[in-house]
Structure 1
Amino acid sequence: MTSNDVIIQRWLEQDLSDDENISNDECSDVEADVGIEHVIEESGESDSECEETTEVVSNAIAPIEIESSSTLPSEQTSSSEDEGPLSELRSRSRKKNYFGKNRFRWSSARPSLRSRMHQHNIVQEREGIKPAYRSEINASSSPLDIWQHFFTDSMLEKIVHHTNVKIREIRPNYQVSTCVQDLDIVELRAFIGFLFYTAIFKENHEHYTSRYSTDGTGREIYRCIMSKNRFEVLLKTLRFDDSASRPVRRESDASAPIIELFNSFIDQCQAVFAIGSCACIDEMLLAFRGKDSDGLNLPREYQTLKKPTQAVMRLIPPIERSNRNINFDNWYTSIELIDSLKKKQLTGVGTLRKNQKEIPPEFLAARHRNVDSTVFGFTKDIIMSSYVPKKNKAVITVSSMHHMPVVDETTKKPEIILFYNQTKIGVDLLDQRCSNYSTGRRTRRWPLAVFCRMLDISASNCYVVRLSTQPHGQKTETRFLFMKNLAKGLTIPHMDRRANNLKLQRDIRMAIRRILDSNKETTPSAVPTSSSAEERLAVRKNCST
């Protein structure tokens, strides 16, 4: 045995004695016997796995702070007689463990991959209109045809029924019963079209009386759809549930006044369209009173979870076991949520708040960390990255979808952050669309506020469906024009009926006729002819006396 062999053997014996207290090489969740602030080195993977890790790191230009394999000085590796002991040393490549405040353990070396793509990244369902509706919704479908699949006739008939109950209740309070007649589905659609007109003209927050002004400041279309008094009555009496049974239902569900209609609308949205491989969960602010609703109707096993986790678990049943990925911001993201999604065959990607107990101190912002550097931590199913965009700042992300420490060569950012930035805007984009063209009104009735937001979402969903029917997703019409055609389709049948009402003022009837004549979708039979009774009564004659 040469002198080099003696040195190597002593070094190995010392190395083994230092590591004999470490019981497990795998990435576990919690290490109970190790101090929180310590970083423990332990023996790593095989030589082939070490080379694979080195190759991944070398392909990324941005620095990745992963401990390299331990080697001896160069003078000990010069002799060809020492190949056996040195190869044994290389096979014992070392990796580092990071521990969070709750002793949650992360490894600096990724687990070995047995396949090129994990099973949980394969989505079978195709994005777009579902097969049951492809024959009914196509490129020739009008905006009204698409909208009727989200607000079906059965849903509107329930609103008509409950609203008529309220109208009959207040009818004795009116001396003139013209504006308190029963509502039908044609007039209800016209009322909804009225609200869509206020959205596209951005007049939803104006008082409704200003729209009926005849001094040139009002809009003619509103007077043609319905009278001011009738609109006021419908706005006050619009109801969405049975008021007699509401107190009993409210004991178990605070959203009882509109929950039946809301659930029906959600079911239709899920039945018509299939989302892509990535979903996004975020909050949408709608001001009304209510609290602690996240845990409603959840199984008992979820009652002990955090409130943000409960909110996510309420939303995921329609896409359970579909291998989809869900994005969320730092208010929702937690290791608890990632583990809960895994049980439902879903993955998650999100940013972590700095106060999460699973984050090791090495992943937090520090002055000694270089700009554009990234630290990776791994467990068996989760990867955590900490990227430094600027001095003394760190962006921490966690993902159960990604498994490789990949960094983009151009932006120097981890692949997880780039993926999150591309797919996190789903709810924000919907919120922006609803704000641009909103039917919401100033009201103290929170069920009416929710109903108006449902109308906003239905218009946005209809436009998405319309784009999906166009070849290669081409944008053939703007969203303003689409919503205008939708409002027109909802109001024309009722205006056509009003045009034949001889009790209306003559200028309103003539205005309705101009609107009907200018609409290409109106049939000629719907427009009164010059031989009608009204035209014969309009002929003036002189009195013989």
Structure 2
Amino acid sequence: MFFTNRLERTRKMCADFKLLITPAMVNVVVQNTNKKAEKVYREWNKKHPDALKLWKPTHEEEMYAFIGLLLISDVYKSSDESVSELWSLNNGRPIFGSVMTENRFKSLLRFYRFDETTTRAARLEFDKLAAFRDIWTMFQTNLKNVYKPSAFLTVDEQLVSTRARSSIRQYMPCKPGKYGIKIFWCCDAETSYPLAGEIYVGRQPGQSERMNVGELVKRLVRPWCGKGRNVTMDNFFISIPLAEDLLAKRTTIVGTLRRNKKEVPSEMTETRGREVSSSLFCFDWQLTLVSYIPKRKKCVLLLSTMHHDDAVSAEHEGKPDIVLFYNETKSGVDTLDQLVRVYTCKRRTRRWPMVLWFNTLDCAGIAAYVTWTSKNPEWNAQKSQRRRMFLMECGKHLVDIVLQKRAASPPQSLPYTVRKTIESMGTATSFQQSAASKDEKAIPRRCVFCGRKGDRKVKTSCITCGKPCCNAPLRL
């Protein structure tokens, strides 16, 4: 679909993003952020009565503008760049200083909250994720409602890197960040759209049993069971009982299987006397197990309820079709993690809820981009940086309302540097508009202060309200 109006196109792009980061979610953040800031300022004013501080309440438009600046910062790959550098007059980006002041941005970062802090202690008694649970639940609901996945899904894990102190932080030496918060995702294997996610918190307070991996997979794929889809996963998740349970719900699986499973025949794990690129198949009801030798003394086991033959590909060194299919569909979550790392809006923080929030915004940006391009496949199809362009247009639209209001503020309340920055971006300020009106041939009108009694006709007007006004009121 082709949009002749660029503003209308950008508005629809941003609408896809707001379907994921909804006003309801933003209002939860607004309310709790204001409560936290007011509490901190009350405590400050009690201790420092001679230096009182007043918190200016934030609102939905400003919070969306804050999110828009984060999206723009991830386009510039400025996650490791200090806030002061982003607002610098010499080396910064004009759009940041045009939307809000540096101190306001830092204050919002400082007081950002996602739950009611006064009731958090009670909720932590049974939920380690209490500080972020409400926002995460709303986000998961939005992800399911926006997009219809393809026939192939992928289940895997993402490690959100952080060194913040938290009981839910995990150590995974095989991951780039090593330390972080683990999220199990179910993604579309073709587009890497995040369909459902579950944050790993370990054992909840009062819980004795360990996490059941099979039940985890069932929870992730439950909304899409019974529709003939396939789920690809690695040997951490897959098992024979899980394959049978999902098959009963008309959902097939393909994935690697660990050699120590009791259901695996010993002949399938033997490597002696077998040639490289050879395969050994085992069939049981609707389960197919293949043992493939990629190199000497190495055996790879794959389980499939989707394939029911011993087909191999001569074009790919005799690899079984099961192996080829697994390689094609296994990277849905890995691609999501890679996309998040390429363009991320995260800022340096010691608070783990903020770490999850930045990752949520990154995933929402990817999901909105997939949704937009699936509906408009011809949009900039020949360009290689489509996602970068999408995030930039989305971010600019989110900050536009606050930017326009700031540009329309009276000239005397707008600092010179800010006014010049806004004008350099092509947005007209109230100073420019008043100057332009002076250049026009003005029609004399009666001064509203002198009235008919004075009957003084003037060409000047008030810079605040625009009504005709002479210089006499200034001498009072």
TM-score range, shorter chain: 0.7 to 0.9
- Distance in 2, Cα, partners of 1:140 & 1:404: 49
Q: Which residue does 1:6 correspond to in 2?
A: none
**Superposed displacement of residue 205, structure 1:** 1.9
The 8 Å contact of residues 194 and 222 in structure 1, kept in 2 or not, is answered as yes
- Distance in 1, Cα, partners of 2:274 & 2:19: 55
Between 1:335-344 and 1:398-407, the stretch displaced more is 335-344
Which of 405, 429, 453 does residue 310 from structure 2 map onto? Answer: 405
Structure 1's 528 and 493: CA in aligned 2 closer, same or farther, altered over 3 A?
Answer: farther
- 1:192 matches 2:67: yes
Which of 250, 254, 274 does residue 128 from structure 2 map onto? Answer: 254
Q: Which residue does 2:112 correspond to in 1?
A: 238
- Distance in 2, Cα, partners of 1:408 & 1:264: 45
Match of 2:399, as an amino acid? T
Structure with the larger strand share: 2
Which of 378, 393, 396 does residue 298 from structure 2 map onto? Answer: 393
Task: Map 1:84-483 to 2 at 5 A.
Answer: 142-172=12-42, 173=44, 175=51, 177=53, 180-214=55-89, 216-287=90-161, 289-291=166-168, 293=201, 307-411=212-316, 412-471=318-377, 475=381, 478-483=386-391
Between 1:203-212 and 1:450-459, the stretch displaced more is 203-212
**Superposed displacement of residue 474, structure 1:** 7.2
- Distance in 2, Cα, partners of 1:526 & 1:348: 64
| Cα offsets for 1:282-321 (capped at 9, x unmatched) | 1000145344636779xx9xx9786432331331222232
- Distance in 1, Cα, partners of 2:398 & 2:319: 49
| Cα offsets for 1:352-384 (capped at 9, x unmatched) | 123323222222252310112110011112110
Between 1:162-171 and 1:453-462, the stretch displaced more is 162-171
Match of 2:56, as an amino acid? Q
Q: Which residue does 1:499 correspond to in 2?
A: 407
**Superposed displacement of residue 232, structure 1:** 1.1
The 8 Å contact of residues 252 and 306 in structure 2, kept in 1 or not, is answered as yes
Between 1:467-476 and 1:260-269, the stretch displaced more is 467-476
- Distance in 1, Cα, partners of 2:209 & 2:249: 17
Q: Which residue does 2:5 correspond to in 1?
A: none
**Superposed displacement of residue 256, structure 1:** 1.1
**Superposed displacement of residue 535, structure 1:** 13
Between 1:341-350 and 1:222-231, the stretch displaced more is 341-350
Structure 1's 140 and 162: CA in aligned 2 closer, same or farther, altered over 3 A?
Answer: closer
Match of 2:237, as an amino acid? Y
**Secondary structure of 2:160's aligned partner:** coil
Q: CA RMSD in A?
A: 3.0
Match of 1:371, as an amino acid? V
The 8 Å contact of residues 271 and 293 in structure 2, kept in 1 or not, is answered as no
Structure 1's 140 and 486: CA in aligned 2 closer, same or farther, altered over 3 A?
Answer: closer
**Superposed displacement of residue 471, structure 1:** 4.6
The 8 Å contact of residues 516 and 527 in structure 1, kept in 2 or not, is answered as no
Structure 1's 357 and 499: CA in aligned 2 closer, same or farther, altered over 3 A?
Answer: same
- Distance in 2, Cα, partners of 1:196 & 1:350: 35
- Distance in 2, Cα, partners of 1:335 & 1:269: 29
- Distance in 2, Cα, partners of 1:344 & 1:474: 40
Structure 1's 377 and 260: CA in aligned 2 closer, same or farther, altered over 3 A?
Answer: same
The 8 Å contact of residues 11 and 397 in structure 2, kept in 1 or not, is answered as no
**Secondary structure of 2:399's aligned partner:** helix
Q: Which residue does 1:509 correspond to in 2?
A: 419
Structure 1's 388 and 344: CA in aligned 2 closer, same or farther, altered over 3 A?
Answer: same
Match of 2:418, as an amino acid? I
The 8 Å contact of residues 397 and 416 in structure 1, kept in 2 or not, is answered as yes
- Distance in 2, Cα, partners of 1:510 & 1:140: 25
**Secondary structure of 2:302's aligned partner:** strand
TM-score by length of structure 2 reads 0.75
**Secondary structure of 2:263's aligned partner:** coil
Structure 1's 234 and 140: CA in aligned 2 closer, same or farther, altered over 3 A?
Answer: closer
Match of 1:386, as an amino acid? S
- Distance in 2, Cα, partners of 1:140 & 1:200: 16
- 1:533 matches 2:463: yes
Unaligned regions of 5+ residues in structure 2, if any? 1-7, 46-50, 169-199, 438-461, 472-476
- Distance in 1, Cα, partners of 2:397 & 2:379: 24
**Superposed displacement of residue 217, structure 1:** 2.1
The 8 Å contact of residues 294 and 314 in structure 1, kept in 2 or not, is answered as no
**Secondary structure of 1:233's aligned partner:** helix
The 8 Å contact of residues 365 and 393 in structure 1, kept in 2 or not, is answered as no
Q: Which residue does 1:99 correspond to in 2?
A: none
| Cα offsets for 1:78-131 (capped at 9, x unmatched) | xxxxxxxxxxxxxxxxxxxxxxxxxxxxxxxxxxxxxxxxxxxxxxxxxxxxxx
The 8 Å contact of residues 496 and 527 in structure 1, kept in 2 or not, is answered as no
Structure 1's 413 and 294: CA in aligned 2 closer, same or farther, altered over 3 A?
Answer: farther
Task: Map 1:72-87 to 2 at 5 A.
Answer: none
**Superposed displacement of residue 430, structure 1:** 0.8
| Cα offsets for 1:472-507 (capped at 9, x unmatched) | 787266111111101101111111111133423122
**Superposed displacement of residue 184, structure 1:** 0.6
- Distance in 1, Cα, partners of 2:159 & 2:225: 26
The 8 Å contact of residues 193 and 490 in structure 1, kept in 2 or not, is answered as yes
**Secondary structure of 2:277's aligned partner:** coil
- Distance in 2, Cα, partners of 1:171 & 1:224: 26
The 8 Å contact of residues 139 and 466 in structure 1, kept in 2 or not, is answered as no
The 8 Å contact of residues 277 and 319 in structure 2, kept in 1 or not, is answered as yes
The percentage of counterpart residues that share the same residue type is 30
Max radius of gyration: which structure? 1
Unaligned regions of 5+ residues in structure 1, if any? 1-137, 519-523
